[in-house]
Structure 1
Amino acid sequence: MTQIRAAEAGDVGALAEIQVAAGAAFRTVGLGWIADNPVPTDEQYLGYVRDGRAFVLADGAVPVGFVLVDLVDGAAHVEQLSVAPSHARRGLGARLIDHVDGWAAARRLPALTLCTFRDVPWNAPYYARLGFVEIGTPGPGLAALLRAEAAFGLDPATRVAMRRPVRPA
């Protein structure tokens, strides 16, 4: 039985392992260089943990998925969502997104946002099925994130910012 809980300092190593394992799927769509990029440092993960913006999906005591949340343009921004391949395709990512939705609602935030690949099946098409829509003109914070991605080497034509209103409690 999987359950979602706040991430703890002891989860940091598992978060990195999950992100690396989940990222390997990018090799199947010609984006191996994405899979080969380093994941956040332990200190970066710990920042999310300390700020209460990291949540894990645990199978018993073992994390099998996680989500990291930032605040961007007054919305809860999904910075990273990863599920271990051994637990993929079971609706666990959607559960994590719904958890962030509840977290955002408790803070009276109006929406969830994210930046993702436009045509990778488990990116924008997946998030569209979860109720996210493309943002025509991103706010200043999302626009800055997209510019930083382009500076990092991501082709802006392949990226999209998306938004989903927070669901009423």
Structure 2
Amino acid sequence: MRIRAVTAADLPLLREIERSAGECFRTVGMAEIAEDEPLTVAELAVFQEAGLAWAAVDAGRPVAYLLAEPVDRVLHVEQVSVHPDWGRRRIGRSLLDVAAARAAADGRYALTLTTFAEVPWNAPYYERCGFAELPDHDLTPGLRAIRDRESAHGLDRWPRVVMARTLRLPA
């Protein structure tokens, strides 16, 4: 699977991937998450234009993607989604590794994300990818702001956690 920077032409396809990937939340009683609208093309373009959006592609077409943003001294994963037809092939992990390499190259000490604590393909999966839960007292102001936005959006109906993957910085 080839991973490359997201292009402007990919942006509408990312919305399709997000919708498809979200459907699995219905199986765990979280239909509201499945029904949540993906980011708009304009919102996705901000990540793409910043060079912080990557896609895993098959025959040139995205099948998964990751969006990230600098937050304090870390690179924060805003979204990672894999189309269900392409699941269980280590594509999400490969995207996380690309983001981690970028973060380390930029001198950031960790890759962070927020996720649902009890959904099997969320926190337990990220633990297998080298992430660990950050206790609330270790959250930076930027990570606290992200959690506040998520809470205002209603995501705290289900237990959420902030997780970090500490990086080895280049010598």
TM-score normalised by length of structure 1: 0.96
**Alignment partner, residue 155 of structure 1:** 156
Instruction: Report the Cα offset of residue 72 of structure 1.
Output: 1.1
* Residue aligned with 2:155, SS: coil
Report if aligned partners of 1:101, 1:167 keep a CA contact under 8 Å in 2: no
| Partner residue in 2 for 1:43 | 42
CA RMSD of aligned residues (A): 1.2
AA partner of residue 37 (structure 1): D
Given that residues 146 and 156 in structure 1 are in contact (C-alpha distance below 8 angstroms), is that contact kept between their aligned partners in structure 2? no
- Tell me how far 1:81 sits from its aligned partner: 0.1
TM-score, structure 2 normalization? 0.95
Which residue of structure 2 aligns with residue 88 of structure 1? Answer: 87
Q: Which region of structure 1 is more displaced relative to structure 2, 111-120 or 139-148?
A: 139-148
SS in 1 for 2:37: coil
How far 1:157 moved relative to its partner?
6.1
Q: Which amino acid aligns with 2:75?
A: A
What does 1:130-145 align with in structure 2 at a 5 Å threshold? 130-136=129-135, 137=137, 138-145=139-146
SS of corresponding position for 1:89: coil
Partners of 2:101 and 2:130 lie apart in 1 by 15
Q: What runs of 5+ residues in structure 1 fail to find an aligned partner?
A: none
* Deviation at residue 52 of structure 1 after TM alignment: 0.4
State the distance in 1 between where 2:157 and 2:132 align.
Answer: 17
Task: Name the residue aligned to 2:7.
Answer: 8
- Shift, 1:156, TM fit: 6.6
Listed as ranges, the gaps of 5+ residues in structure 2 are: none
Count of residues in correspondence between the two structures = 168
Q: Distance in 2 between matches of 1:157 and 1:29?
A: 11
Is 1:62 the counterpart of 2:61? The answer is yes
Structure-2 residue corresponding to 1:31: 30
Letter in 2 for 1:151: A
**Identity within the alignment, %:** 43
Structure 2 CA distance for partners of 1:165 and 1:156, relative to 1, 3 Å: farther
Q: Deviation at 1:167? A: 3.6
Task: State the 1:73 CA deviation.
Answer: 2.1
The letter of the residue matching 1:68 is L
- SS of the equivalent of 1:155 reads helix
